[in-house]
Amino acid sequence: MARGFFNHFWYKLLDEDGVPAPSAYVYIYDLNSPTTQLTIFDENFDVESQPLITNSNGVFDFYVKDNIGTDIVGAPSGSYEWNKQFIISWNDGVDKSGVISGDRLFGNFETVNTSGSTTSKNKTMSNYIGWLLEKHVNSNMT
């Protein structure tokens, strides 16, 4: 299967208090049809079943296929337009849950503001912002 048709996404899920949500159940839905799960793929580009489960740091990942090259013989099905919007619905199986809606599969994502405002919590963090945060946390501050 051709890797060029897939985009990898990983997210650090934060609960309503801005704390990572470990072992949470995550579902990816179509924004325009919120009961329809999107077709997602694993690292081997096989269709992945939902729910996804976050790791101990609240991280989960999946692959989504864009529709570029779908006219090529043998191109896998389950593709989406670049402006496709989705909803992430999650719950921890106990007492916390959330819905993050309106993000684009192939677009920009908001950064997480932990300055005390709750309006920027219960959101995902983009790969780039996550990399910057990890780089900062792991930097030598001496």
The residue ranking higher by pLDDT, 68 or 3, is: 68
Q: Please, what is the average pLDDT of the chain? A: 76
Tell me if the pTM is above 0.75: no
- More confident: 60 or 15: 60
Burial of 66 (0-12, 13-18, 19+ CB in 10 A): middle
DSSP letter for 118, please.
G
* CA distances (Å), origin 89, targets 10, 43, 60, 123: 15, 21, 13, 11
pLDDT winner (highest mean) among 7-16, 24-33, 113-122: 24-33
pLDDT at 10 over 70: yes
Q: H or E segment at 25?
A: strand 25-30
Which pLDDT belongs to residue 48?
Answer: 94
For residue range 21-36, list pLDDT tens digits in order. Answer: 999 999 999 988 889 9
